[in-house]
């Protein structure tokens, strides 16, 4: 019968296995214990391999595929584009994430917040310190801009920056440089209206710096909100493979927005400069009271500035946060923006407007 054949075959196989096992045991003799140990070890291997390696070793060692990044022991100053590109090529080859913070120096706690965010996100952090002549409207303003490289490098070191790129003007704009990026319609309003050509200089130098560093992401502050939107537009239009990370406005204890230009204010002028942040808050408070009409919000802000002596107002505006278009009513997230000159120093400030959100003390 077919069933009997299968049963007999199975029994024979079983007897054969038992006989083979008995023979091996008798042959090993005293070595039987060793064979048993080896057999036990062999049996445990599949159990070990089925465990998740990272769960056991992640606390004591990095993942097997983690990038091996050779960071400098201290902040290193680089002066040429070729030096930066060589270091970044090595970092990318090691699988490192590169973060970049472009600045014009005269660093303060606002910049420190940007650097800290880059350090949190990246394996390698690069900060540039370059006072860009092409974004200044006057030679006097360019000459008056503070330059304190040693102090800036010290702050970068405290924030864990790996490389500071501090080029001369000829390194960014070498002899024969004849290319300029012209910013679009967004650059012709507010700051662009008051400072013709300013944003052309900004987007040109940003594109040059991004080409040199080639970071995975770059961090910008929201204090220069119009500039932030222009940089995002630049990256989108030119298909640059970099993420733009935005950080909120950082304020001093008196609520004045941190700016490198603040060092040029006398104590009396500094007190007057507080009117800008008070105007922003007044506009936000009007929205909190349920006033969504932009005219009402602007009237609240302008009344604060009107009562501030020595503050020459350039503009107070409410704009859509995404496209920077004027809005009649704040029904979606918007921005209130202020610009004024105090003691010969041009200052800007802004703050978000969130309709339907109530602030709690």
Same domain assignment for residues 117 and 202: yes
**Quick one: DSSP state of residue 197?**
T
Got the DSSP string for 199-264? HHHHHHHHHHHHHHH--SEEEEESTTHHHHHHHHHHHHHTT-S-EEEEEPPPB-TT-PBP-GGGGG
CATH number at residue 322: 3.30.1300.10
Same domain assignment for residues 60 and 80: no
Same domain assignment for residues 340 and 237: no
What pLDDT, on the 0 to 100 scale, is given for residue 360?
59
What pLDDT, on the 0 to 100 scale, is given for residue 138?
81
The 8 Å CB, 24+ separation contacts for 181-186 are 181/207, 181/234, 183/230, 183/233, 183/234, 184/233, 186/226, 186/229, 186/230, 186/233, 186/324
Q: How far is CA 317 from CA 78, 93, 185, 321, 339, in A?
A: 41, 47, 17, 12, 9
Same domain assignment for residues 109 and 220: yes
Same domain assignment for residues 197 and 294: no
Whether 2 is in a domain gets the answer no
CA neighbor of 218 nearest in space, from 239, 198, 230, 232: 232
**Quick one: DSSP state of residue 135?**
G
Distance of CA 287 to the CA centre of its chain: 30
Residues 70, 108, 111, 198: which is the catalytic one? 111
Containing H/E element for 311?
strand 311-320
Contact (Cβ atoms closer than 8 angstroms) between residue 92 and residue 98? yes
pTM higher than the cut 0.85: no
What pLDDT, on the 0 to 100 scale, is given for residue 61?
41
CATH number at residue 214: 3.40.50.620
Whether 3 is in a domain gets the answer no
Whether 214 is in a domain gets the answer yes
Same domain assignment for residues 157 and 46: no
Tokens 């040059």, residue located:
208
Q: How many C-beta atoms lie closer than 10 Å to residue 172's C-beta?
A: 20
Contact (Cβ atoms closer than 8 angstroms) between residue 146 and residue 129? no
What pLDDT, on the 0 to 100 scale, is given for residue 359?
62
What pLDDT, on the 0 to 100 scale, is given for residue 71?
67
Same domain assignment for residues 56 and 88: no
What pLDDT, on the 0 to 100 scale, is given for residue 13?
44
What pLDDT, on the 0 to 100 scale, is given for residue 68?
53
What's the number of domains the chain is made of?
Answer: 3
Same domain assignment for residues 92 and 219: yes
Q: Is 111 a catalytic residue?
A: yes
Whether 144 is in a domain gets the answer yes
Which tokens hold the place of 259?
A: 């700016």
Contact (Cβ atoms closer than 8 angstroms) between residue 155 and residue 249? no
- pLDDT tens digits, the chain, 361 residues: what are they? 343 444 444 444 444 444 444 444 444 444 444 444 444 444 444 444 444 444 433 334 444 444 555 567 689 999 999 999 999 999 999 999 999 999 999 999 999 999 999 999 999 999 999 999 999 888 888 888 889 999 999 999 999 999 999 999 999 999 999 999 999 999 999 999 989 999 999 999 999 999 999 999 999 999 999 999 999 999 999 999 999 999 999 999 999 999 999 999 999 999 999 999 999 999 999 999 999 999 999 999 999 999 999 999 999 999 999 999 999 999 999 999 999 999 999 999 999 999 977 665 5
Q: How far is CA 138 from CA 84, 144, 196, 327, in A?
A: 30, 10, 11, 33
Domain limits for position 94: 76-247
Same domain assignment for residues 85 and 205: yes
Whether 359 is in a domain gets the answer no
Same domain assignment for residues 166 and 304: no
Same domain assignment for residues 348 and 278: yes
């Amino acid at each position: 019968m077919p069933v009997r054949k299968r049963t007999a075959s199975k029994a024979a196989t079983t007897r054969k296995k038992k006989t083979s096992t008995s023979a091996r045991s008798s042959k090993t003799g005293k070595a039987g214990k060793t064979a048993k140990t080896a057999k036990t070890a062999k049996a445990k291997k599949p159990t070990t391999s089925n465990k998740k390696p990272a769960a056991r070793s992640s606390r004591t060692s990095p993942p097997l595929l983690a990038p091996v990044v050779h960071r400098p022991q201290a902040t290193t100053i680089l002066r040429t584009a070729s030096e930066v590109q060589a270091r970044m090529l090595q970092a990318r080859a090691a699988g490192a994430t590169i973060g970049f913070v472009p600045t014009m120096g005269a660093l303060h706690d606002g910049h420190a917040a940007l650097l800290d965010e880059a350090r949190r996100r990246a394996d390698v952090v690069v900060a540039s310190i370059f006072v860009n002549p092409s974004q200044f409207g006057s030679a006097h303003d360019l000459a008056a801009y503070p330059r304190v490289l040693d102090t800036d490098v010290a702050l970068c070191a405290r924030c864990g920056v790996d490389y500071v790129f501090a080029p001369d003007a000829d390194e960014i704009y070498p002899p024969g440089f004849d290319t300029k990026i012209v910013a679009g319609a967004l650059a012709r309003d507010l700051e662009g209206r008051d400072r013709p050509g300013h944003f052309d200089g900004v987007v040109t130098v940003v594109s040059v710096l991004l080409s040199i560093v080639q970071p995975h992401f770059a961090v910008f502050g929201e204090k220069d909100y119009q500039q932030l939107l222009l940089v995002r537009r630049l990256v989108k239009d030119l298909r640059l493979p970099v993420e733009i990370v935005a950080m909120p406005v950082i304020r001093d204890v008196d609520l004045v927005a941190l700016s490198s230009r603040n060092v040029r204010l006398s104590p009396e002028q500094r007190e007057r400069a507080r009117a800008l942040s008070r105007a922003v808050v007044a506009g936000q408070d009007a929205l909190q009271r349920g006033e969504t009409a932009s005219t009402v919000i602007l009237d609240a802000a302008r009344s604060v500035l009107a009562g501030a002596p020595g503050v020459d107002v350039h503009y107070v505006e409410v704009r859509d946060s995404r496209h920077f278009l004027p809005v009649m009513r704040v029904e979606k997230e918007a921005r209130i923006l202020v610009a004024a000159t105090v003691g010969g120093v041009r200052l800007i400030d802004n703050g978000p407007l969130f309709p339907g959100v109530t602030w709690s003390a």
